[in-house]
Homo-oligomer: A and B are copies of this chain.
Amino acid sequence: MIDKNSPVPIYHQLEEQIKSQIENGSLEADELIPSEREYAERYQISRMTVRHAINNLVKDGFLHRQKGKGTYVSKQKVEQKLQGLTSFTEDMLERGMTPSSRLLSFEIIPASQPIAHRLGLKENTPVYEIRRIRLADHVPMAVETTYLPANLIKGLTEDIINQSLYKYIEEKLTLNISEASQEIEATSAKDHEVKHLQIEKGSPVLLILRTSYLEDGTPFELVRSAYRADRYKFVHTMKR
């Protein structure tokens, strides 16, 4: 079960083991899992290592602790997936749809004041501007405009943004994407959105403005998306 000589840390092995026992049902919801001391004894590992594993599972909502009693398995939530910061492509694949894009424009422009402000740049700093129609199963889903600081996200090409921008940022540029903040509102479709999304004039659209950050807090991406309200619903979870 636990391989002490494996390069993968013991706490992570135990974590995965408990998680799979929850998922395959051998540990049921509301059930008390073995105590920390029992895990430690059973696998001949330290109790602190067991705590490390269990703490991670508590943080992710799989378990919850009760002092003096023990650690219980939490019920599976209805929306267990589709959380966290994802790209349009990742999002659509999760929903079981086939994502594609139609590129409207791709250029470097000087940042306007509001865009510069949100990206923490000086006005007129060069930024990539990428305008796209996003499709799901070949039907227009959203019109999207992305701004990226050209001095930070270097060497962008059409190929890269057609593949995976996040993958490029994380693997080629070795930058750590940490989090994003979003503003979500409802509006009526503007003229160009009516055209691109093939909807009636005045139809409601879901407007999402996202600012994404690297690990050190630097904003690296600003995305304005206008989604067809009849085809898209934003889903997320949040902690108390």
Contacts and interface: CB of A to CB of B under 8 A. Distances in A.
3 closest A-B pairs by CB: A75-B217, A186-B186, A186-B229
A196 interface: no
A211 B84 contact: no
A72 interface: yes
A219 B74 CA distance: 11
Contacts of A118: 78
Contact of A216 (B64, B179, B239): B64
A166 to B, nearest CB: 9
Interface string A70-99: 001011111100011100000000000000
A202 B180 CA distance: 32
A236 B77 CA distance: 20
A217 B76 CA distance: 6
Interface in A214-234: 215-219, 227, 229, 232-234
A153 interface: no
Interface string A152-186: 00000000000000000000000011111111111
Interface of A: 29-30, 48, 59, 61, 64, 72, 74-79, 83-85, 118, 120, 176-188, 202, 204-207, 211, 213, 215-219, 227, 229, 232-240
Given A185-B233, A240-B85, A216 B74 contact: yes
B183 A78 contact: no
A13 B72 CA distance: 28
A30 B217 CA distance: 9
B215 A186 contact: no
B61 A211 contact: no
Contact of A183 (B74, B187, B234): B234
A117 to B, nearest CB: 9
Nearest to A206: B186
